[in-house]
Amino acid sequence: MKAKSFSIAMAILPIFFIASFGARAQEKGVVINGVTWATRNVDEPGAFASKPEDAGKFYQWNRKKAWSTTGEVSGWSNSYATDDSWEKANDPCPVGWRVPALLEVQRLLDEEKVKSEWTTLNGVKGRKFTDKATGNSIFLPALGLRNGAGVINFAGTDGLYWTASQNSADRAGYLQFEEPELGWYYGYRNYGMNVRAVAE
């Protein structure tokens, strides 16, 4: 009996481990206008959030430290990260994924090929992007940002997502959307925003 119980436990353990690991790290992604997007935000470095509507974490540009999307934080730096692009060593995305380039965000905003609509998923406000040719879609929650002082702004009304593309010594490209509008802009690198990965 003891041997049999041990065998069952050993058989169940790997299944549980694989299921738990898969929910956090594995991601097939969805192709929209030629770019493969993750279906969930980046959470802690190297991991995706569990569900599409989950917040994940905020990141400052070209930095790998994760910040909460709610409440107050300590240790926030208002300095600007250097370099011309988001360095691989500082990329918080899981293996096989990376922070998108501005050009890839622009493809997501191509109204001829991608439909975009403000919606709610399981009580979370955000924007759904759908490939017109295939029907593939992703949902990006509107979680706001942390400003240069680390204070949260626009939670529930705006979604702000980094790109890896810099503009100047203190600014880099990002996607921003709210209920009536969306577009790409250049923001201060010391802001904290979400990251939605693309496949390498």
pLDDT of residue 40: 98
Task: Find the angle CA(131)-CA(92)-CA(54) to the nearest 5 degrees.
Answer: 55
- Beta strands per DSSP E along 86-170: 97-98, 114-121, 124-131, 137-141, 145-146, 152-153, 159-166
Are 179 and 135 in contact, with CB atoms under 8 Å apart?
no
pLDDT of residue 27: 87
Quote the DSSP letter at residue 40.
S
Q: Which two tokens stand for residue 98?
A: 């990376």
pLDDT of residue 13: 40
What are the tens digits of pLDDT across the range 134-187? 999 999 999 999 999 999 999 999 999 999 999 999 999 999 999 999 999 999
Q: Is the pLDDT of residue 193 over 50?
A: yes
Separation in Å, CA 80 to CA 63, 76, 161, 186: 10, 12, 17, 14
